[in-house]
Amino acid sequence: MSFRSVSASVRAWPRRGSHADGASLALALEEAGFSLFFAMDHRVSKIPKTATAELAGDLLRWYDAHARDLPWRAPPGAGERADPYRVWLSEVMLQQTTVSTVKARFERFLALWPSVADLAVASLEDVLKEWAGLGYYARARNLHAAARVLATAHGGVFPDTVDGLAALPGVGPYTAAAIAAIAFDRPETVVDGNVERVVARLFAVTTSLPQAKGELRRLAATLTPTQRPGDYAQAVMDLGATVCTPRAPKCLLCPIRRACQAYVMNIAETLPRKAEKAAKPVRAGVAYWLESADATTGAAVVLLVRRPAQGLLGGMLALPSVGWDDGALPAKISQLKWRATDAVVRHTFTHFHLELKIVAASLKTPITVKDGHWIAKTDLLDAGLPTLMKKAVREMGEFMAE
């Protein structure tokens, strides 16, 4: 009995998720040549190589017809490899950032620095300014550092192996595998959140994340083909992003639903399961709005400081602030007479919520402050500030307008 022939029977069975349904499904799949793990839930723990190749073929045919049009990709099935610089840049940008946000920013970044050689000679300050608003600023610092390593130690050429790529600053196992597969067609297993969801449903993995990560990676590795592995990696990502979505998955449009245990058991939308997250703590801090007048033009200027390279908002321009991180107020301004304002900024970081009150003071003429920059008040929103500080600028604008 072939993999395809059993699918008609599978689709006809009741999808109640009962023990009996699971057992009958397991026995029928075993008859078709599957290797089964007979636990209480009768989940399939391994798909034979012939069926794996068939599944990959179905998915690649779907990808050839439905691949998302993304500026860092090569057309699917065209035999053309993607530019490793574009793949690397996109993968770094996409960490903790949505595709819709990244697309426009990617094009703008590429216009400024079209090659790794261009990025290597750029100033870190310019790169951080362009990165403003994307968050997780260590990504930008590592991107710049890796570009310099590539330019000086590799002649501007990307390594084509996972080990070589992982040696670059900021390139972890996932990013290394993604570049190796997509740019160099290496048969590496690429597992992001979309892939985890597809695999959890395909194998009906009921262990909660993050505990299930190791199992999902192992299962994903059993499916990775040797033919067109780069396209396959992107196909699974696209399937998770457009069909096998977190809510209301479009199972009837899925090219591999005949092999999906969660679909057969009618539990797709419940997977992957996630452990309950602890409530985020709330931190409180104070930001300092110091205003003066430019000595030449008389225009209003505001003091910003360059934050330390390490830590939250590392290397970014920001209002001086204390209380919510390890930052300290510059000594020259700590003794000024600060007045309270009604301006309050609320912002959420990965691990905590922040409530930042703003106090204000003014000077007749600007003073020199370590790592300080006096920026025209009208230019603050174009100064490359992180989102938190843009919120503070807008809050102060509204406060002063009242």
Distances from the Cα of 292 to the Cα of 117, 121, 173, 296, 321, angstroms: 40, 34, 48, 12, 18
CA distance 313 to 221: 36
Tell me, rounded to whole angstroms, the distance of Cα 224 from its chain centroid. Answer: 22
Q: Which amino acid is at 123?
A: S
Active-site residues, by number, are 91
Q: Which of 27, 2, 22, 19 is nearest to 261 (CA)?
A: 22
Is residue 122 within 8 Å of 89, Cβ to Cβ?
no
Is residue 282 within 8 Å of 352, Cβ to Cβ?
yes
Is residue 320 within 8 Å of 385, Cβ to Cβ?
no
Is residue 219 within 8 Å of 272, Cβ to Cβ?
no
CA distance 339 to 156: 52
DSSP string over 339-389:
EEEEEEEEEE-SS-EEEEEEEEEE-SS----TTEEEEEGGGGGGS---HHH
Is residue 130 within 8 Å of 118, Cβ to Cβ?
no
Tell me, rounded to whole angstroms, the distance of Cα 342 from its chain centroid. Answer: 35
Is residue 359 within 8 Å of 341, Cβ to Cβ?
yes
Cα dihedral 257, 259, 264, 269 sign: negative
